[in-house]
Structure 1
Amino acid sequence: MTTDDTLAMLRAFSAAWNRHDLESIMALSTDDCEFWAAAGPDALGTRSVGPEAVAAAYRSIFETFPDAQWTEGRISLIAPDRAISEWTFVGTTVEGRKVEVLGLDLLDLADGKVRIKNSFRKNRTA
């Protein structure tokens, strides 16, 4: 896969997130995918392993923040198998709480897809 192909895949992955298109997100994820959420009980946050667990975690984000968007995105390929996606997350919880924070994903890549999505974000108090 060329650098241009990898960047195109990563842009498609990001665009799918903003459409809340879980089917496309998972199609761009490997069969052994993992999601390491920014928060949770472990040093990794909350770790979801495998397509079913990862899809459930992603679905939960869309359900919690029905209007979620990742804006001001910037993708950097830092090695053939690793990328950084920087963004500003904006969304409103179903209870009406507005959230706006800076964050990034450290993405491990394999076979032209996302294998690990390791999320980091600011913890903003309001």
Structure 2
Amino acid sequence: MSDSVVKMLEAFSAAWNAHDLDTLMALSTDDCEFWASAGPDELGTRYVGQQAVAGAYRALFDFYPDAQWTKGRLTLLGPDRALSEWTFVGTTLDGKRVEVLGLDVLDLVGEKVRIKNSYRKNRTA
């Protein structure tokens, strides 16, 4: 996989920690999708298109104003797929602290993210 794809994935990860919605969307295809780790459907909650995905990302940043994805590790699976492992840490608006292990399966088109399919542990403690 090209160095430019690796740099794009690193920039995508950095944009999450910076809460940089403009960069996240610039690094996503026009027909991008976000499959959230929770929701009523088999896929969790599915957001389709730039506007819907940006709204979902914005809501996450609003709910966890200090959100960070730490201990990141990228694994390239080929020209059109990558894994992004991370530990999510953040505090909800009502003061609940969250720290969980998670994973994104990223479908890629060229040097952009087409699908961000998120999985994360559900910690009870």
TM-score (norm. length: structure 1): 0.98
- Secondary structure of 1:39's counterpart equals coil
- 1:66 match: secondary structure: coil
**Unmatched tracts of structure 2, length 5 or more:** none
SS of the residue 2:69 aligns to: strand
DSSP 3-state at the match of 2:14:
helix
Q: Percent identity?
A: 70
Q: C-alpha root-mean-square deviation of aligned residues, in Å?
A: 0.6
Q: Deviations over 1:25-80 (max 9, x none)?
A: 00000000000000000000000000000000000000000000000000011111
What residue in structure 2 maps to residue 16 of structure 1? 15
In the other structure, the counterpart of 1:94 is: 93
Partner of 1:31: 30
**Distance of 1:8 and 1:74 partners within structure 2:** 13
> In 2, Cα distance between the equivalents of 1:24 and 1:112?
13
Q: Indicate the residue corresponding to 2:82 in structure 1.
A: 83
Once the two structures are TM-superposed, the CA of residue 111 in structure 1 deviates from its matched residue by: 2.5
Q: Secondary structure of the residue that 1:95 maps to in structure 2?
A: coil
2:65 aligned partner: 66
Partner of 2:111: 112
Distance 1:64 1:21 in 2: 15
Runs of 5+ unmatched residues, structure 1: none
SS of 1:42's equivalent? coil
Structure 2 length as normaliser, TM-score?
Answer: 0.98
